[in-house]
Amino acid sequence: MTGHGGLAEVTALGYVAPLRAGGSLPAIVETDDCGTYVVKFHAAAQGRKALVAEVIVGELGRRLGLRVPELVLVRFDPAVSAAEPDQEVQDLHRASEGLNLGLDYLPGARDFRPGRDGTDAGVDVSAEEAGRVVWFDALVGNVDRTVRNPNLMVWHRRLWLIDHGAGLIFHHRWETAEDGVAKAYDMSAHALGGYAPDVLAADAALAPLVTEALLREVLAEVPDAWMEPELDPELGLATPDALRDAYVAHLAGRVARSDEWIPRCFATPQELADREEAKRRETLAGRPAWLQHVR
């Protein structure tokens, strides 16, 4: 195995199955290190920036003590999945030949399922742990960990954080990224809101750890091939190293201003249910009369 930064590189040898729960069509594969990984492909609809976000958010989370499955770079040959009958999946695999991202497969893990009280009886989560996860998601702009879409797994009664491709929202529009340095994202519907997250304690514990040196260590994990240059010369982001500097500056700036974006309010299960009902009514109101009663 060779490395890019600290991430190991492995080669896919066996194709187990596609995963159809999300829109990116990842796959479970077996590799030459005798491991089994969930592979996310660089040609998926979200593109390489989703993989960049997965690496930066995942590796930063791991360094802060959060449970994120181990990440590796997976060298993928479409011939490995030649027997896959789905044409859409085959097209994705052919377009994704080369380097992709793998997350360690957690056998027997299940989805986190908050009940009516906002908690999952099958997992032990303290207010401290919940606070650290919420704080971290707020730092990286990961608004895709909600009660409806937790992106959390339960493995041996412990939480594991997955699916971070939607984080780092700012990198989709670098020209306005500076405006988001102190942005307070709406975390009121966070999946762990039912655990009384101690976000202030998390800020006190984690913010001092997110140093420029740590961020540079994390950014070194991202392969140059995934660091897509920005064409606007005024942005000065034409090389992988310039892009890494921009990520470091943005995240370091957010940490320095954490008092402006720390989440403080979380909706109750009843409030979340009321929101859903209001959305449903709004959707129905926009339908023609003959569709008003169709769910």
Q: Are 53 and 171 in contact (CB under 8 A)?
A: yes
Token match 């001092």: residue?
208
Would you say 177 and 183 are in contact if contact means Cβ atoms under 8 Å apart? no
Using the Cα atoms of residue 234, residue 236, residue 237 and residue 238 in order, give the sign of their dihedral: positive
Note the pLDDT of residue 292. 61
pLDDT tens digit at each of 295 positions of the chain: 344 557 999 999 999 999 976 678 999 999 999 999 999 999 998 899 999 999 999 999 999 999 999 999 999 999 999 999 999 999 999 999 999 999 999 999 999 999 988 999 999 999 999 999 999 999 999 999 999 999 999 999 999 999 999 999 999 999 999 999 999 999 999 999 999 999 999 999 999 999 999 999 999 999 999 999 998 999 999 999 999 999 999 999 999 999 999 999 998 878 887 777 777 777 767 767 666 666 6
Q: Please give the backbone phi and psi of residue 101, each rounded to the nearest 5 degrees, phi first.
A: -110, 135
Q: Are 165 and 48 in contact (CB under 8 A)?
A: no
Please give the model's pTM, rounded to 2 decimal places: 0.92
Largest CA distance in the chain: 62
**What does the pLDDT read at residue 3?**
40
- What is the model's pLDDT at position 294? 60
